[in-house]
Structures are given as structure tokens and as C-alpha cells.
Chain A
Amino acid sequence: MFSFFGALVGLALAVGALAAAAPPIVTDAWIRATPPGAVTAAAYLTIASAGAADRLVGAATPAAGTVEIHTNVAEAGSQHMMRVAELALPAGGAVRLEPGGQHLMLIDLKAPMVPGTKVALSLRFAEGGTVEIDVPVVDARAQAAAPH
């Protein structure tokens, strides 16, 4: 099971840029390996505040044309995926992007997401600057090993 404090220890890849506020800490990132022919993929991760409140306002990767922040909204008894402009990160709190919930949608993939490879992802925060991470691609199918 995911340990929040364990995640804090693994902050090594976070790179603060320019901004005065400390960058949020990103852990447990993974991208779902894609079926053949896929042009979209989902990335999941946990963002922990480094102290102050912040907002995830954008993301980008060389592996895809566009990255969007998506959330799931319950509406008329069913869930719908929806693009949002930003994701709020409460002071001292953490936000989890996980399957079936909030995630980053990679659109216009340059190539399929192959398990075992890593994909560069940059996350842009309103206060904390940009965080660059290398995200492993994981095969999450039933027959494959669990993602974590």
C-alpha cells in the first residue's frame, strides 16, 4: 500500500525552477501502457504540497502533442471524464491522480506507450514552478503484475 511518508522520501526527481515557492513533490507516477493503435494514454501520480497551497496549471511531454488535466464528475447517476483548467493543491495536503479518477490525458501520442520504458513529463505549477519527472510505463492488465 502506498505510504505517504515513503513517498515524501522519494522526492529526488523534483526540480524547482525560478519560482520563489518550493515546488510540490511528485511521487508514484506511472503511465498506463497502451493497446496497439492507441493515440491517447493516461498518467497517474501523487502531488504533495511542499508547504503552501499551489495549483497544477499545465503539463507537457515530448511523447504526446497535448497533455490535459482530467477529472471525473458524477452526473445523472454516472461518471463523466472532463477536462479542467487546473487542479488545486491544498496547503500541506496531497492530491492523488489515480485510475478511475483524476488523471493526465496524453493526446496525440507520438508512439505507443511501451511497458518498461520511461516518459519525460513536466508539470507546471502556478506557484512552485515546473517539476520534471521521468514516468515509467506500466502494463496494468490483469495478467500483468500490479503497477506498484
Chain B
Amino acid sequence: MRGPKPRLRTRLGVTPRTATVAAAAAALGLGTWLVLAAHKAPPLEIHGYVLTTPRDLPADDLVDEHGEPFRLHDFVGHWSFLYFGYTYCPDVCPLTLVELTKVKLQLAADGFAEPSAYYFVSVDPRRDTPARLREYVTYFDQELRGLTGSAAALAALARATDTVFDASDDSRGEDSAGDNYLVSHSSNVVLLDPNGRVHAVFAPPHDPAKLAGDFTKIVERYEALR
């Protein structure tokens, strides 16, 4: 009654069920191969670069434009565009934020429904309080978010996103002890994927139509590989 042989024979026999399992395994193998092949495909040509492997963000200590804590999982579930700057920046920051709002308008005009969020990350928390950030970002777009944080959190976030900034190399020298100082910073736009990982970096100068096109390509490949 507990003879192992009939069971063994059943397992080894080519029944419809095992055939299905085998086919499924083959399909899975093919799927894996396709994914691997896609990973080996040349990287997308964008104005900037796509990371070979999306990178996790560090544990952080960020605050949003309402003074509320902002957690890493707040980046999850949608694509995120991050631009690092400071509100005292008169030229490249307003310029880039206007370009980002144009990207948003372009994507909407293209009927591109992929949810995405736009963030201005101030690397100047000394002057950029949440209240200051709020009046600044909403001037450019009601949906533009503002983030800042502790010096350590901003440094870690910058490192993970290939961003550099420095509030200490003000060319004004001794006068910079007061509230009028410059902050040098990258003009890149960083793209996080819906897992909240660093996915791509767009290099300046930013052309809204080109950036929107690059983003669309990135999303299409991301969806194809899921």
C-alpha cells in the first residue's frame, strides 16, 4: 500500500500536468533570458545617463514644505523628478523649475498618464525654512513639492543621487559670514523610479521636450522589464 514505485512512476510519467509544468518552466526560463538579454542591451541614450542598476536612497531625515517629515516610502508608487538648489538662487534654479513644469505640461499634452511628482530639494536649510520653501515652490507650480533636511541627510541624499553642492566656496569671501552667500550645486535633474530608487540623471542644459522624451523612453523600458 505504501509502495514507492507507483508514485515514482507517476512522477516520472509524462502526464498533461507535468507537461504544463515543464512548459511553464521553459517559459519562465525564456522570460528570464529575455530580461537578462535586455539588461545586456546597450543603455538608453538620453541627455544624461541611466544607472545600470537602480540605486537605493539612504535612510533619511527630510522635511517637506509643510514642515512634515518626509520618508523614503513617500517616493514609492510614482516616478519622481528631483532638482537640488536653493531659493536664493536667482538664475539656474528658477530656470530649471520652469523647465520641469514644462516637462509636466508636455507629458500631459502627450497624454502620458504615468504618475510622476516633482521635487525641489533645498540644500540651504539654514535660510530655506519649510514656509519659505512653500511660497517658493508653489509660485512655479501648485504641485511642485519642496524638500529639505539636516545637513547630514542632504549630504547623504546628494551622494546617492550623484549630486554635489557646497555652501562654503562662496566667491564673496569674508562677506559670506552673513545671510548673503552663494551655494554651488549641480544642475542635474535626478529621476527616481516607482520603487523610490535612483534610476537616471538628466544633465543640463535641460530641454523640456527632450527630457520628456527621454523620460518616456525610460518608463517604456522599465515597464517592459517588469
Quick check: is A38 within 8 A (CB to CB) of the other chain? yes
- Shortest CB–CB separation between residue B120 and chain A, in angstroms? 11
Q: Are A105 and B140 in contact (CB under 8 A)?
A: no
The residues of A that contact B53 with a CB separation of less than 8 Å are: none
Q: Are A81 and B164 in contact (CB under 8 A)?
A: no
The segment from B55-63, B67-75, B180-188 found at the interface with A is B180-188
Q: Are B101 and A32 in contact (CB under 8 A)?
A: no
The residues of A that contact B180 with a CB separation of less than 8 Å are: 66, 107-108
The residues of A that contact B185 with a CB separation of less than 8 Å are: 78, 80
A-B contact number at CB 8 A:
87
Q: Are B187 and A78 in contact (CB under 8 A)?
A: yes
- Shortest CB–CB separation between residue B219 and chain A, in angstroms? 21
Quick check: is A35 within 8 A (CB to CB) of the other chain? yes
- Shortest CB–CB separation between residue B204 and chain A, in angstroms? 6
Q: Are A38 and B204 in contact (CB under 8 A)?
A: no
Q: Are A37 and B136 in contact (CB under 8 A)?
A: yes
Quick check: is B171 within 8 A (CB to CB) of the other chain? yes
The segment from B16-24, B37-45, B84-92, B210-218 found at the interface with A is B84-92
Q: How far is the CA of A99 from the CA of B136 in the complex (A)?
A: 19
Quick check: is A124 within 8 A (CB to CB) of the other chain? no
Interface size, chain A (Cβ < 8 Å): 33
Can you identify 22 A-B contacts, CB atoms within 8 angstroms?
A: A32-B94, A34-B90, A35-B87, A35-B135, A36-B136, A36-B139, A38-B88, A38-B90, A38-B136, A75-B184, A79-B187, A79-B204, A80-B185, A81-B91, A82-B171, A82-B182, A100-B187, A105-B91, A141-B101, A141-B140, A142-B101, A142-B102
Interface of A is mostly: strand
Q: How far is the CA of A37 from the CA of B164 in the complex (A)?
A: 26
Q: Are A81 and B95 in contact (CB under 8 A)?
A: no
Q: How far is the CA of A39 from the CA of B135 in the complex (A)?
A: 13
- Shortest CB–CB separation between residue A68 and chain B, in angstroms? 8
Quick check: is B132 within 8 A (CB to CB) of the other chain? yes
Q: How far is the CA of A108 from the CA of B179 in the complex (A)?
A: 10
Quick check: is A27 within 8 A (CB to CB) of the other chain? no
Quick check: is B51 within 8 A (CB to CB) of the other chain? no
Q: Are A80 and B172 in contact (CB under 8 A)?
A: no
